[in-house]
Amino acid sequence: MKLTCPKCAQAFETDGKAAEAVCPGCGAAMPLPALAETIAQRPGVSAPLPTAVVSETIGLEPAAKETGTPRHFARYEIIREIGRGAFGIVYRARDPQLGRDVALKVLIAGEQASESLIKRFHAEAQAAAKLRHPNIVPIHDVGIHDGKHYFTADFIEGATLEKLLKEKLPTTQIVRLMTEIASAIQHAHEHGIVHRDIKPGNVLIDASGRAMVTDFGLARNVEVESSLTRSGDVVGTPAYMSPEQAAGRVAEVEERSDVYALGVLLYEMLTGHPPFQSNSLVALLRAVIEDEPVSPRTLNPKADRDLETICLKCLEKEKARRYRTAAALVEDLNGGGGGADCGAGSGLRPLRAPRSLRRGVGTGGG
């Protein structure tokens, strides 16, 4: 099956057997068959898809840019499209009842959505709705309008981490952002939720600079056996996948898979790009599974040495060698050195300790 990515316009092929197709260029995930059919069955339609075409698939007209007149969906007034995720289109909308703007996410395939796609869409809403944490975007309303599935969340005024990473970040900001993101993921884990798609595009930065984790579209509820993902499916965004995800070993995907993805985020903050990159999806997945990452300080000699050690521990191929929990990662980020409570056992040097006290201290893994 030939597809064209609606985000970056790169053409690629997929066998159509998995639930999603993943663009080898930008890593965007696209649900199948919904989006693939939307593109393939429209003669003359090329990607990136115009807003009006994509909106048509869910029965919404975009807000008129010329007049600023919003369209309505349920009780919400659509202001403009702000993004597209794995399963839905996200709009900035006005909730007249609450008197505030919200992020409205509508299932991209509308009434033609498959049962599995609908289940995944609601799984995202249900996963996020059970989480209440200052660094997780909260979910509010979940429902169906004219046969179209949707939910609403806080509208975050700001940008994504992806945009922020275009700039070189100081060590203090890296530590703060990683602490906030990892704390949010730890909270999700404590509630039985594995995110499975941690990446810069799924982290929002609000007006105060706070990191907010969003998009639980591929989240797995470990408390409930899920039939939404078949063994052998590759789920996530390739450059941020753990080796077990890249290999399609679905049964092995758990909390430490998210820890790996947190390591990829940290690597990108230190070097400006993920540890593995390729124009070929097959080559990228193989690198994630088999290759060792280049040490961050080789690429950026100014990168903090302790953050490099923490990062490489997250990126271990063997799960047993990574941090056992995101809380253990937070502990080391904040100079705890991997105490017994967090279970890291890393022996890392405290980030905030005077350098005179760090000399000669080991950085053993395990």
**Mind telling me the catalytic residues?**
197
Q: Among 250, 244, 263, which Cα is nearest to 322's?
A: 263
Asked if 14 contacts 21 with a C-beta cutoff of 8 angstroms, the reply is yes
Which amino acid is located at 97 in the chain? Answer: Q
Cβ neighbours, 10 Å, residue 99: 7
Q: Where are the beta strands (DSSP E) in the chain?
A: 2-4, 11-13, 20-22, 29-31, 71-73, 76-84, 88-95, 100-107, 139-145, 148-154, 158-160, 193-194, 203-206, 211-213, 220-221
The phi and psi torsions of 259 (rounded to 5 degrees) equal -60, -40
Q: What whole-number distance in Å separates Cα of residue 9 and Cα of residue 31? A: 16
If phi > 0 it is left, if psi is from -120 to 50 it is alpha, else beta; for residue 296 that is alpha
